[in-house]
Amino acid sequence: MSAYGAIAAPATKGSLEIRSYPLPVDGLILVTYPITGADAPKEVIEYLYGIFEAELEGGKTYPQEGPLSLEAYTAYFFGSTTIVGVVQSSSEEIKDSLGKALEGKKLDDALGGCYYIKPNYPGRSSHNGGFIVAPTQRGRKIGLNLGRSYLQYAPELGYKGSVFNLVYKNNAASLAIWDQLGFQRAGLIPNAGRLRTGPNGTEEYVDAVVFFKSFV
């Protein structure tokens, strides 16, 4: 629930396709599976929940303070449209569902990350997304390719643009991705987050960049 209450998503232009993106690792691709609501294998949600909880415990990227219950995480990340990325060999057949794509695979090896697409503000200004990359997959440009897929999926869901409210200045990887994908640094919020970025993990206030990109 946002400060504006429940926010309805814009009208979808049609069903979302499964897509693939080449990775800079020999023979690997990232296949993106759109999931509506909480329609994802339980073990996938639980695995991604563990990654998100570790991010909250680290206190450097998301504004929430943990712990967050599994139910609360599911409502937050899987409450609207979620895109789940699966890493596979380019020679392997692309399956027609997330469940089939993960059959017989270890989640540590196969799950690249995920992101949600849901309204940020009420109807006249509704656009947003939030991303997670699995620690076991970092360094493979998973985040960049999830971002590329976001630029395809979000307009198909009816969004006219995107605003990321809080990209903390210490998150160099995220800043670089949105700069590379043509987002505009629309503003800077001083002391936007109390993060564990000080000496020995002590808390300090960190600035945040507001990113914007128009889809029209």
pLDDT, tens only, 130-169: 999 999 999 999 999 999 999 999 999 988 889 999 999 9
CA 113 remoteness from chain centre: 7
Other beta carbons within 10 Å of 177: 22
pTM for this entry: 0.91
CATH architecture for residues 19-160: 3-Layer(aba) Sandwich (3.40)
Span 167-213, pLDDT tens digits = 999 999 999 999 999 999 999 999 999 999 999 999 999 999 999 99
pLDDT in tens, 76-90: 899 889 999 999 999
How far apart (Å, rounded) are the C-alpha atoms in residues 46 and 77? 12
pLDDT (0 to 100) of residue 126: 60
